[in-house]
Structure 1
Amino acid sequence: MQLEKGQMAPDFEAKIETGETIKLSDYRGKKVVLYFYPKDATPGCTAQACNLRDNYEALQKAGYVVFGVSSDPEKSHIKFKEKQELPFSLIADTDLKVHEAFGTWQEKSMYGRKYMGTVRTTFVIDEEGKISEIIEKVKTKDHTAQILN
């Protein structure tokens, strides 16, 4: 299923790096940035997370709550978050339910080898829970500008 701008974001329940369970519907009334990335501590994913970290104040001023989502476990998220001093939570989607709901777990190809993995995508969700923006061509080093513009 392909999600589109204007439709309701799929609600989900998932664990963040602390082990706490969150639900997307708990954030109604707030704007949410839900960014899907392939792997903790890799160059592109680190650049993207650090860009959001460095501009976090601007995102907060604009009313956004930020969540990173990858299939990495909580333990990996804790290390990544501490090392990069990330001020936002990371969702440990180890069972891929959130990825599947948002259509970000897809077949990819590298060096002719096909495999399943995360397609780097960001969903901007409005206060009513509707998708207001889908960013598919993510600029890892300038991602905040893509969200705020």
Structure 2
Amino acid sequence: MFKSFTAAALVVAAVSMPAFAQPQVGAAAPDFRAKTASGESVKLSDYRGKTVVLEWTNKGCPFVQKHYKSGNMQNLQQQAEADGVVWLTVNSSAPGKQGYVDGEAANAEMKEYKTSPTAYLLDPKGTIGRGYGATATPHMYVIDKEGVLQYMGAIDDIPTAKIEDVKGAQNYVSGALAALAAGKSPDPAATRSYGCSVKYPG
């Protein structure tokens, strides 16, 4: 669902690492390590000093399609990038399940939907997703410059798959980013995510 790769848009695959506690708003976001398609090692902590958004995705999910076909997700990514925010798209679908992609397929999705994440993370073993307690696509997390989780939950307040419902919805992610930019805490800081279940292994 995303544009062709640039230096700022890397496909990465999660590598195994010890289990970590479920994240909590106001606490340090769990770090994770990943590898790019070319073998480069990447860690969440590499982005310390910048606000980070984590977005769980699955191209086959109608709730994800709602936000991409309307251009809503792309607009959020572009605005975040313009403001110096790191945007990491995460795919935790397991091989053989809906939404699974390898690096080539992720590249095709980015090109098809003209998206601009900082990186597209491949998490076929569900290491990152389960570590963050991601239950739905999309499931959103906002981490501040100090590495503290400041928001987690739904992308907005209208839990449907209808494209027409994007307009007029309260977007929790843009609200959280605006609050942090103003030196404030997001309100709400946590909401119930909605969408398709993450297609984990097993």
**Shorter-normalised TM range:** 0.7 to 0.9
Query: Is 1:55–2:84 an aligned residue pair?
Result: no
Aligned to 1:12: 32
Distance in 2, matches of 1:46 and 1:17, equals 25
Aligned to 1:111: none
Give me the CA root mean square deviation: 2.7
In the alignment, residue 63 of structure 1 is paired with which amino acid? G
The percent identity for this pair of structures is 25
Which of 113, 121, 124 is 1:84 aligned to?
Answer: 113
Name the structure where strand makes up a greater proportion of residues: 1
Name the structure where helix makes up a greater proportion of residues: 1
Unaligned runs of 5+ in 2: 1-20, 93-99, 176-202
Distance in 2, matches of 1:124 and 1:57, equals 16
Aligned to 1:109: none
Aligned to 2:87: 66
Output one character per residue of 1:58-107: Cα deviation in whole Å (capped at 9) or x when no partner: 223443111111123323211111111111122110111101110125xx
Structure 1 runs of 4+ off > 4 angstroms? 16-20, 137-140
Distance in 2, matches of 1:46 and 1:67, equals 18
Cα gap change, 1:69 to 1:31, in 2 (>3 Å):
same
Normalised TM-score (structure 1): 0.74
Query: Is 1:33–2:53 an aligned residue pair?
Result: yes
Aligned to 2:125, what secondary structure does the other structure show?
coil
Aligned to 2:186: none
Normalised TM-score (structure 2): 0.57
Task: Tell me the CA shift for residue 119 of structure 1.
Answer: 5.3
Q: How many residues align?
A: 136
Distance in 2, matches of 1:42 and 1:79, equals 17
Larger RCO (CA within 8 A; separation ≥ 6)? 1
Structure with greater Cα Rg: 2
Aligned to 2:106, what secondary structure does the other structure show?
helix
Unaligned runs of 5+ in 1: 106-117
Distance in 2, matches of 1:19 and 1:41, equals 27
